[in-house]
Structure 1
Amino acid sequence: MTSRRHFLQKITASGLALPFLPSLKAEAEHLHTFNGEPYQGPVLRVAIMGLGSYGTRVAEAMRDCKMAKLTGVISGTPSKVKDWQSKYGIPEKNCYNYENFDNIKNNPDIDAVYVITPNGLHKDQVIRVAKAGKHAICEKPMAINAAEGQEMVDACKKANVKLLVGYRMHFEPKTLEIIRMRKAGEFGKVLFFQGLSGFTIGDPRQWRLNKKLAGGGAMMDIGIYSINGARYMVGEEPVWVTAQETKTNPEKFKEGVDETIQFQLGFPSGAVASCLSTYTMNNLDRFFLNGEKGFAEMQPSTGYGPIKGRTHAGELTHPHVTHQTVQMDEMAGIILQGKQPVVPVDGEEGLKDLKIIDAIFLAVKSGKKVDLKL
C-alpha cells in the first residue's frame, strides 16, 4: 500500500489551478453552545485538512469553541474521513480528498480551511484554498522558506482572503501577561532573551526528518518557537543572526535535516537572544527574559499546557485554557469581525519567521553574521 507520505507527494504535484471566486461569508446568525450557554452570532465554519494527531487535537478543542465550528474534512485516507464523519457529525458533501478539494469553492458550509499537513505541502495547498475563495489557516512554519511564504501571502491577497498562521501561543494568557508587563515597562529596558526548544525525536522514517516534506529538521518543527518567542518577548524585530550546527547522527539526520542548532539574534535596542533548537535532547521548553528592572521565566513555555511562568513580581496564576480552543475562537474573531490580536498571526508574521530561518541556515553554512531586514 502506498504510504501517506508518498500519496501526499504525488497529489501535491498535481494541484489544479482554478479561477478566483469570492469567499462565502459565514452565517450572519448561528446558534451554538459554549460551556452550556447559547451563543448567537457569526460562526466561522472550518474544514480541517490533514487528519493526523494535531488535526485531531484541533478538532477536539473546537468542540468548546463558540465562534468556530468544524464543518468539513480534507484527507487522503478514506478510513479517517469515515471516522471523523461519525465522530464529529460531518456530512458526506463536506468531505474531500487532496485531489478534489478545489470543489470547496461551491460549498457554502465551509468558510476557511485549516491546513495541518507536512510543511513542504503548505504552499500549494494554501494557494489552492485561496483560489477556491476560502480563508486559509496554516500550521507553522507557514512554508519551507521565505520565497514560498511570499507566494502564499501574495496569493491570498490576490484572492481577497485571510491567511492566518497557527501561532497558538499568541493567545495564551500567561504569555500575554508577560507581553503586557514588558509593554508597561515593568521589566525596564530589555537586555537578554534565552529560548530553549527541543525534544528527542523518534522514528527516523517520519516526514519530519524528510528534507522535501519538512524543509529541514528541528528548526522547522521546534526551533521556530524560540524564533517567534524571541520576537514577541523582546518586542522588537532582530537585525542580525549568527548560528552554529551540531550533528552527532548523520544517518538519522541526513543532509539538509538539522539535528541541533544554536543561534543568536541581535535587536535594534542592543538586546540579544541566545537560543537552542534540537531533536536530540528532552526537557527543553524554556523562555527567559531579563531586563534592567526585572525578569520573566516560562517553563514549560510553549507546550500544550499548562504553561508555567513567574516574574520578579511572583508566580503567574492565570488558569490554563486549551490553546487550540482559544486560538480558533480568536481567529474566527479576526476573520469575521476584524479583531486585532495583541501579537499578529497573519501571513506577514509567518513570513518574518521564515526569513529568520533562511538566515539561520545561511549563517550555519557561511559561519558569518547575517543581516536581517524584516
Structure 2
Amino acid sequence: MTYMNNRRKFLKDTGLLLGGLSILPHLSFKPRYQKDKLGICLVGLGNYSENLLAPALQLTKHCELRGIVTGSPEKIPVWQKRHGIPDKNVYNYETMHAIANNDDIDVIYIVLPTGLHAEYAIKAAQTGKHVWSEKPMAKTVAECEAMMKACEKNKVKLAIGYRMQHEPNTQTVIKWADTKPYGQIKKVRGDVGFNIANPGNTWRMDKELGGGLIYDVGVYAINGLRYITGKEPISVTGQHENNRPELFKEVEEITTFNLDFGGGLTGSGKTSAAESVNILRAECEKGWYQLEPFQSYTGVKGKASDGTLLNTYIENQQARQMDDDALSIINNRPMMVPGEEGLKDIAIVEAINKSAQKGSPVTL
C-alpha cells in the first residue's frame, strides 16, 4: 500500500476528510482558564491526547487546554463538556488555519501519527502560533527541516515532546555526562521493548504513517544514548530482525544498533516487540549508573554502583514537560527540546535503516 493510500485510509477512518464541521450548539459551562496562562490547542484527539495530555493540562501551572482540532464530530460534545471548550475554539483539519485569528490559543500541539507531523506542524506554524510536536519529530530529516524552516519563517518556537528530558532523574544523568562523577564514560546501552503478542492493525505498525518500533520507541533509546553521553555519534550500524512476519507485515519486529561516538566511546541499542526491556546504562572508569525503567509513564528509577539512588518522583511527566515549554515561551528562552534535537534522532534512525539495508556502517 502506498503512502498516499495509507494516508487517505487514516484520514477517512478518523474523519479527517470531512469537508466541513458543523459546530454544535453552545454547551453550558464556565470557561476554565485564566488569561495569564498560555492556551493550548490539541490537534488529534486519540489516546495520547485524551488519556495523557488533556488530564496533564488540568495539572499545569503555566498553560491550559483551550482548543481542539478533530475530524471526529462525535468527540466534540464530550471534550467540550469535560474541558469547557467554547464553540469558537473547535476546529477541523480544513479550518485549523483560522486559529490565526483566535487570541485564546497560543500553542498548537500536534498529536497525530508520525507520518502526518510535518504537514500539520507546518500548517500550525503558518497560523503564527507556537508549535509543539509529539515525538518522533517526523518520518524523515527532510520533513524535520521543513518544520523548522516553517517555524523560523513565521517567527514561532518549536518544541518536540520528549517528556523524558524534563524528568528529574533523567536530568541528573544528563548533568553527569558533563560532571562525570564516576569517571570517563566508556560504554552506554539503551534498550526499550515490549512483549507484544499481537500488534494489531494500528497506525504505528503502518510503514508510512508510523514506521514501526524504531520510530515509536526507538527514538527514546537513541535520544537516551545521546543525552547520557552528551555526544553525537560519528557512525552507526544497524540490523533488523523479524521472527513473526505474519504479525509484523510492514515493519520490523526487532532492531539492534551500535553507535560509535569516537574516542573509544561506544553505544548499543535495541527496540524489540519480543521482550520487555527498559534500561539506559552507562559504564564508566570508576563505576556505573543506570535508569531502569528509563521511559515509563509511571515513573523513572535508577541507581549507581556506589549505592546512589535516582528515584525522584514527579506527579505527571507530561505536565512538567508542557509547563517547561510554556515557560520557555513566556520568558522568551530557548526550548529545552527544540526541533534540532528531534532532527538529530531522525538522522540516526535513517542511518540505522540504511545500514541494515546495505549491511555495513553508515557515517554521520
**TM-score, length basis structure 1:** 0.87
Per the alignment, residue 317 of structure 1 pairs with 311
Counterpart for residue 209 of structure 2: 213
- CA distance in 1 between partners of 2:347 and 2:14 (Å): 25
**Corresponding residue for residue 362 of structure 2:** 370
Task: Name the SS for the 2:57 alignment partner.
Answer: helix
1:140-168 deviation per Cα after TM superposition (whole angstroms, max 9, x unaligned): 11111111111111111111111110010
C-alpha distance in 1, partners of 2:37/2:332?
A: 14
Letter of the 1:92 counterpart? D
For the Cα contact (< 8 Å) 2:15–2:72, is it kept in 1? Answer: no
| CA displacement 1:288-317 (0-9 Å, x = unmatched) | 111112211111111112211111242123
Residues 279, 317 of structure 1: alpha-carbon distance in 2 compared, 3 angstrom cutoff: closer
Q: Helix, strand or coil for the counterpart of 1:213?
A: coil
DSSP-derived class of the 1:83 partner:
helix
Q: Describe the SS at the equivalent of 1:178.
A: helix
Which residue of 7, 12, 29 corresponds with 1:7? 12
Give the corresponding residue for 1:45: 39
Cα distance change, pair 89–222 in 1 and its aligned pair in 2 (3 A) = same
Aligned length: 342
Which 10-residue stretch deviates more, 141-150 or 310-319? 310-319
Q: 1:64 to 1:267 in 2, by over 3 A?
A: same
Match of 2:138 in 1: 143
SS at match of 1:212: coil
1:157 corresponds to 2:149: no
Go from structure 1 to structure 2 and tell me whether the alpha carbon gap of 1:152 and 1:12 turns closer, same or farther (over 3 Å shift): farther
Aligned Cα root-mean-square deviation (Å): 2.1
**1:274 and 2:268 are equivalent in the alignment:** yes
Counterpart in the other structure of 2:290: 297
**Following TM superposition, by how much is the alpha carbon of 1:228 offset from its aligned partner in structure 2, in angstroms?**
0.3
Cα distance in 2, alignment partners of residues 243 and 31 from structure 1? 48
1:351 matched to 2:343? The reply is yes
Question: Using the alignment, how far apart are the partners of 1:297 and 1:58 within structure 2?
Answer: 28
Give ranges in structure 1 of 5+ residues lacking alignment: 15-29, 33-40
Which letter does structure 1 place at the counterpart of 2:337? V
- Percent identity over the alignment is 37
Match in the other structure for 1:18: none
Deviation at 1:335, TM superposition (A): 1.4
| Contact 1:307–1:320 under 8 Å retained in 2 | no
Q: CA deviation at 1:78?
A: 1.3
Given the alignment of the two structures, is residue 173 of structure 1 paired with residue 165 of structure 2, yes or no?
no
Q: 107, 129, 141: which one pairs with 1:134?
A: 129
Any residues of structure 2 matched to 1:100-115 within 5 Å, and which?
100-115=95-110
* 113, 129, 142: which one aligns with 1:118: 113
Deviation above 4 Å: which 4+ runs of structure 1?
8-14
1:235 aligned residue = 230
Q: CA contact under 8 A between 2:256 and 2:270: conserved in structure 1?
A: yes
> Scaled by the length of structure 2, what TM-score is found?
0.89
How far does residue 265 in structure 1 lie from its aligned partner after superposition?
A: 0.3
CA spacing shift, 1:287–1:305, aligned 2, 3 Å: same
Q: Does the 8 Å CA contact 2:16/2:72 hold for their aligned counterparts?
A: no
Aligned to 2:24: none
Q: Is the 8 A contact 2:67 2:85 kept in 1?
A: yes
What's 2:221 paired with? 226
Give the deviation of 1:248 after TM superposition. 1.1
CA shift, 1:252, in A, is: 2.2
Change (3 A) 1:184 1:126: same
How many Å separate the matches in 2 of 1:45 and 1:132? Answer: 14
The whole-number CA distance in structure 2 between the counterparts of 1:297 and 1:76 is: 42
Partners of 2:59 and 2:154 in 1: how far apart? 30
Give per-residue Cα distances to partners, 1:171-224, cap 9 Å, x unaligned. Answer: 10111112223322202111111111111344421111111211x211010111
